[in-house]
Amino acid sequence: MLEAGCNRKTTLISLGGGVVGDLTGFVAATFMRGINFVQIPTTLLSQVDSSIGGKVGVNFKNYKNIIGSFYQPKGVIIDTETLKTLDEREIINGLGEVFKYGLIMDYDFFLWLNDNLNSILKLENNYIMNIVKKSLNIKKIIVQKDEKESNIRKVLNFGHTIGHGIETLDDFNTFKHGEAVVLGMMLESLISTEMGLIDRKYYIEIIDSLSRLVSPVKFSAFEQKQIMNAIKHDKKNEKGKIVLVLPIGKGRVNIYNNVDEKLIEKSLKDGVVI
């Protein structure tokens, strides 16, 4: 950037998915102690989640976004026509985050997603516009109350503590972020059931819905160990304790830092059961 003549008045433009946006934002946050950048997200995941909120960063030594900052873009430009260039797996990758919004804050939205999933996967315009607008509005409400994730913003991490561990498998080459989050939400819902926070009926409803996106996975002993190691080093942990966001009712979650590690290990070993 120095060789290109960039300076404090330079504006970076991020055109691409979540990784491109996170990297561009991190460079903007650190170059000359901060320059402007604009997000133009082109994937569903980046349009509904990563392009707003100000989290920027990069992975390092098999740890997810362990180096980064909170740094807001000067603007976000979304054109849902770019989604037509994506395959179905990439759309499902984004839908993992969309379903999360329903589970943490809006049960009616969660039900609507289930009812209209086929139309969404066909990228029918009215349905796509609805999920993008609804997702961004839910995230906006939360982030405006807690930009630096000191309190309520942590609920956006539902599925992410275990999900980030799953994502690290095979050096981030097995599961996409949204797929890992879906699997993480399944396992964290299992833990919630084991702790008596939700009943089995709601647990089955969650698993049935999320299984339409990603099939449950049984992890090998080696994979379980790797996932658990990543969880123990998760940046969301506090005072050496693993922090989990767990469902406590329909469209409701809460934050816990007292979950027995053996219960997490058991969920990874047993896998999702119905």
pTM exceeding the 0.85 threshold for the entire prediction: yes
Give residue 240's pLDDT.
86
Give residue 152's pLDDT.
94
How many domains, in total, are found in the chain? 2
Catalytic-residue membership of 55: yes
State both tokens at 144: 């405006």
Catalytic-residue membership of 133: no
Categorize the per-residue pLDDT at 238 as very low, low, confident or very high, splitting at 50, 70 and 90.
confident
Which of 59, 149, 176, 205 is an active site residue?
149
CATH of the domain at 39: 3.40.50.1970
Catalytic-residue membership of 97: yes
Contact status, residue 114 vs residue 147, Cβ threshold 8 Å: no
Asked if the structure places residue 1 within a domain, the reply is: no
Domain with 101 in it: 87-270
Catalytic-residue membership of 232: no
State the residue for tokens 């009616």: 108
Judgement on whether residues 125 and 224 belong to the same structural domain of the protein: yes
CA angle 210, 212, 213 (to 5 degrees): 70
Give residue 118's pLDDT.
97
Judgement on whether residues 111 and 73 belong to the same structural domain of the protein: no
Share above pLDDT 70 across residues of the chain, in percent, rounded to a whole number: 100
Furthest CA-CA distance within the chain: 60
Judgement on whether residues 245 and 193 belong to the same structural domain of the protein: yes
Which of 59, 157, 179, 223 is an active site residue?
157
